[in-house]
Amino acid sequence: MQQKDFVPRPEDELVPWGDNLTTKLPTHQAALEISNTSITRLQTEYGAMKDAIIAVESAKRTLQSLVQTKNDAVSTFTKDVRNEAAIAKRRTGYTRAIGEDLGLEPPESSLDPTTITSAKPVFFSTHLPDAIRLDWIKGMFDGVVIERKRGNETTFSVIGRDMKSPFDDTDKNLVSDVPEIRIYRIRYILNDQLVGQWSDEIRVMANIS
């Protein structure tokens, strides 16, 4: 039977564990016959580890705050634009040409059969503390279907349909605290049908516990 590792894996447990070890180790120096050099080295390494963990946690909180600020700004702007566009389209002076010039109307030629057949989505990934966020470009389509494979999986599986970017994959890792490769691809939806080509695949090293 494999012996359980005495070093805790979760970093939120590792810091207090290391603090206890490096603080109390000098008390048992004589009994353990451990040198001053070894104690100093362990204390220095612990300090570096603790500072690094704290820095990463701080960066995560900053990233979460920045992402939320960005999402709020995007939501506020796009909602206001939609409201103003809806009002503008009811004005007697509004024409489709004006709408196309302002980007409020899809060009009539943009969804011809050739365009639909060749359409290939573009998307980007961001590793958040609790999700893999996929930001995708909607264009003139209704939405996208998202497929993923991870770990030892050899085939893609549908994990969602999204009508408004971004899409968050919040599934936890198959094995807690063990990073895993996730591969994503997306394809456009139009009138509830899959259309166009699959996107290029994006490979992400995920660690969501």
How crowded is residue 184: how many other Cβ atoms within 10 Å of its Cβ?
23
Region 37-53: mean pLDDT is 94
User: Is 55's pLDDT higher than 70?
Assistant: yes
Pair 206, 127: CB distance under 8 Å? yes
Region 10-37: mean pLDDT is 92
* CA gap 79, 82 in Å, rounded: 5
Express each pLDDT in 112-146 by its tens digit: 677 788 899 999 999 998 999 999 988 888 899 99
* CA gap 26, 38 in Å, rounded: 10
Pair 184, 148: CB distance under 8 Å? yes
pLDDT at residue 198 in the model: 96
pLDDT at residue 3 in the model: 59
Q: What is the band of 100 on the pLDDT scale with cuts at 50, 70, 90?
A: confident
DSSP β-ladder status, 167-169 and 180-190 = unpaired
Q: Is 82 exposed, middle or buried (0-12, 13-18, 19+ CB in 10 A)?
A: exposed
Tokens found for residue 138? 């909607």
